[in-house]
Structure 1
Amino acid sequence: MGSVPRSPLALAALATAAVPGLDARSVRPEEVPGDYDVAVVTAGDDREWFVRAPRTTMAGAALEAEVELLEALHLYVDAGVLPFTVPQVAGYALLPEGGRAVVHRHVTGTPLDLESLHPGPGLSADLGRTLAAVHELPASVVESCGLPSYTAAEYRERRLVELDEAASTGKVPPRLLRRWEAALEDVALWRFRPVVIHGDLAPDQMLVTRGRVTSISGWSEARVADPADDLAWLLAAAPPEAVDSIMEAYQLRRTELHDLRLVDRALLVGELALARWLLHGVRRNLSEVVADAEEMLADLDEATREDAPA
């Protein structure tokens, strides 16, 4: 596959080819993670359609695995096991260079506003139950699609490798690095049962309607791995007073949850995301990203230094 970006008009043409009867009236580009060209097409009946075309062979393979996963997840949505919807593919269009573009209805809803979360039985609790429902899915749902599956030991080893690479840049504050190394050497912290995780949650991918999570999209990073990955961003960004409601509802919804260090690990994973952001900038020679990561690492180092016991 080539890497020349497709214009929104080209994507609109692919959408009309993929969905019989789709009468495209307007189109706007959409930014999503990964090597994809994406647009939202508005039809004559005002319905919106989401079209995504891979730019590379690797992105094409990932998209095919995600589509297979979405089809499997729909069975659990229809059965009432998952309390939210996921995108449902409406059609495909073959690409000249190989692979296919995928089209589905543009899911409506309001992106999750973490700052609006409050303690109690409302949206905070619903978030906990929603994530728990994902983590209760059988591992075979992901594994049968060819998506990654890790043991706890393998996943801890991946974290160690990432940290070693981040350390080699010389840009991680030494005290922060020592604290992370100690946490990764704490075997008890990494005793967990791997589960199905979304793997790339963000507010734009969790849509809310009337105080409930009604849709989750962006499943390309799904895998069997550490449940802390899906909780890390919530625990780091949600108001502290809402975290207890999230975790209480999560724990009540999970069965056989014996992960005593889950919250500790989730907080650590949230911190390690800064190391991955640094590596992203270093690998792609993005000086602005590297500078941003260094600033956030310095802030974290200062904050944890203040929190450390005297």
Structure 2
Amino acid sequence: MVRSALALAALATTAVPGLDVVATRPPQATSSEYQTTGLLDAGGRSWVVRAPLTTAAGAALEGEVALLSQLVREVDEGRLPFDVARPVGFAELPEGGRAMVHRALVGRPLELEELTAGPGLSAALGRAIAAFHELDAAVIADAGLPVYDPDAYRKRRLAEVDEAARTGRVPAALLNRWEHALEDVKLWRFRPTPVHGDLAPEHVLVTDGRVSAMLGLTDAHVGDPAEDLAWLQASAPEESLDAIEEAYALARTESADETLMERALLVSELALARWLLHGVRTGEATVVEDATEMLHQLADEVTDAPEIGAREPAPGWAYEPDETDAAGQIDEPDEAVGDDPEADDPDAEQPDTEPDGDDAPVEPDSAGATEDLHLGTKLPDFLAEREDDSETR
């Protein structure tokens, strides 16, 4: 049920006793699964209320809430160098599910054009992703979210390719390329890690050249870390990739994964197959036709490209499968970004006014996705001209 911004504001006052809302403000976003509205209270503080629009979205939001309770501790204890949403209250919805209210997070959505060569935001982003991957897998498992070993993950992706093949719309060259990669044993010797699962520019907030927060954790799980790097390999400026990958590798404490970026390439290509399947499952003919066109364009792009996994791994990257503890911490984590302990109390005195510019709190809508359909911005950048059409996803 889609509600007006004022109706969501009313829900927020129910969820957080004493919250005196004086205005609605950005973000004002509605996706197929969530509705999000920003609020301003009488004390000048910014809030965000997010309500699920489907039963599946409601269940996913509950999983995210359980995870956030774990992640807040990781932030406060310095194991994550960025903040996450801190739920303050909930309002039951008549149709089922709950709306969640939290203080707006500091920062603005990442713009890929900001990623450049060398140290700076590119390296900060690599370290931030690595910090999430360094978390103990129990953080995810204890929240009741999925845990996949390499073979289970590989079989899920292979089943996805098989389903896409049955549509008759995927070029044979792509099917052969993907199946060869999925059957290449050396690609799948990775250690499962906590994975965000839906990283995209709107889910990464930045300020002062660093990552200040991560959003949209409804698809978090333990699985292939390549998922969280695929969107960058596909869409980030090419000159920024070395800085991102180097910072990421240096921030990981375990022996590195020599085929990580090869799998990331595969994940970015498979996003097109998922887009096709989304259109088939929902009966959206325009999506099916668009995905079909993009798949044929991708087939042309990779005609002369080496097979996935054929390139030599970066020097020094070697996985040691006999290690049992994948969890670790970066040696020198950045200072954690956390809210004031009194932030949960809307009546507590908070003299700071809203920051301007890069420091303004922003909470883009976390559109969410089904467990098997992580679309986000994982489409290759050569499809950027279709950006307007892709907003319907």
> TM-score under structure 2 normalisation?
0.74
User: For the Cα contact (< 8 Å) 2:146–2:222, is it kept in 1?
Assistant: yes
CA distance in 2, matches of 1:34, 1:141: 28
Instruction: Give the distance between the partners of 2:71 and 2:84, measured in 1 at CA.
Output: 7
Q: Post-superposition shift, 1:21?
A: 2.4
233-242 or 5-14, which deviates more? 5-14
User: Could you tell me how far apart the structure 2 residues matched to 1:277 and 1:166 are?
Assistant: 10
Per-residue CA shift, 1:43-64, capped at 9, x if unaligned?
2333322111223333222212
1:48-59 equivalent positions in 2, closer than 5 A: 48-59=46-57
| Structure 2 residue aligned with 1:271 | 269
Q: Which has the higher helix share?
A: 1
**Partner secondary structure for residue 305 of structure 1:** coil
> Aligned with 1:243: secondary structure?
helix
Describe the superposition over 1:208-261 as per-residue Cα deviations: whole angstroms up to 9, x where unpaired.
101100100111100000000000001111111111111111111111234211
Match of 1:10 among 7, 10, 18: 7
3-state secondary structure, aligned to 2:132: helix
Q: Which residue does 1:282 correspond to in 2? A: 280
Give 2:262's aligned amino acid.
Answer: D
Gaps in structure 1 of 5+ consecutive residues: none
Q: Is the 8 A contact 1:207 1:216 kept in 2?
A: yes
Report the 3-state secondary structure (helix = DSSP H, G, I; strand = E; otherwise coil) of the residue aligned with 1:42.
Answer: strand
Q: What's the CA shift for 1:308?
A: 5.1
Find 1:113's aligned residue among 111, 114, 119.
111
How far apart, CA to CA, are the structure 2 residues paired with 1:35 and 1:228? 26
1:142 aligns with 2:140: yes
Q: Which amino acid aligns with 1:19?
A: V
What's the secondary structure of 1:199's corresponding residue? coil
Determine if contact 2:249/2:256 at 8 Å carries over to the other structure: no
Given the alignment, which residue of 292, 295, 298 partners 1:294? Answer: 292
**Kept after mapping to 1: 8 A contact 2:125/2:244:** yes
Deviations 1:153-177 (A, max 9, x none): 0000000010011111111111111
- Separation in structure 1 between the aligned mates of residue 73 and residue 306 of structure 2, nearest angstrom: 48
Cα offset, 1:34, TM superposition: 5.8
Give the aligned partner of residue 28 of structure 2: 30
- The alpha-carbon distance between structure 1 residues 308 and 187, as it changes in their structure 2 partners (threshold 3 A), is closer
**Deviations along 1:13-49, whole A, 9 cap, x unmatched?**
1011112222223335733666223222222333322
Instruction: Give matches, 1:142-221, under 5 Å.
Output: 142-221=140-219
Q: What TM-score comes out, normalization by structure 1 length?
A: 0.94
Q: How many residues align?
A: 306
Q: Give SS of 2:84's match.
A: coil
Q: Any conservation in 2 of the 1:87–1:105 contact (CA below 8 Å)?
A: yes
Counterparts in 2 of 1:38-117, with a 5 A limit?
Answer: 38-117=36-115
- Separation in structure 1 between the aligned mates of residue 113 and residue 169 of structure 2, nearest angstrom: 31
SS in 2 for 1:220: coil
Query: Which one-letter code corresponds to 1:12 in the other structure?
Result: A
Aligned partner letter, 1:15: A
Structure 2: how far apart are the matches of 1:48 and 1:292? 39
Percentage of pairs with the same residue: 58
In the other structure, the counterpart of 1:19 is 16
Once residues 183 and 269 of structure 2 are traced to their aligned partners in structure 1, the CA distance between those partners, rounded to angstroms, is: 16
What is the rounded CA distance, in whole Å, between the counterparts of 1:56 and 1:122 in structure 2?
40
CA offset digits 1:265-307 (Å, max 9, x no partner): 1111111111111111111112222222122212211111143
Match of 2:229 in 1: 231
Name the CA distance, whole Å, in 1 between partners of 2:29 and 2:296.
Answer: 29
Structure 1 residues 104-157: Cα deviation after superposition (integer angstroms, max 9, x where no partner): 112231211112211111111111111110001011101111100001000000
Aligned-residue Cα RMSD (Å) equals 1.7
2:258 to 240, 257, 260: 260
Alignment match, 2:388: none
- 2:341 counterpart residue number: none
Partners of 1:255 and 1:190 lie apart in 2 by 20
Separation of aligned partners in 2, 1:27 and 1:235: 37
Q: Which letter does structure 1 place at the counterpart of 2:247?
A: A
**Bigger mean CA offset, 224-233 vs 29-38:** 29-38
8 Å Cα contact 1:34/1:59 also seen in 2: no
- 8 Å CA contact 1:251–1:257 kept in 2: the answer is no
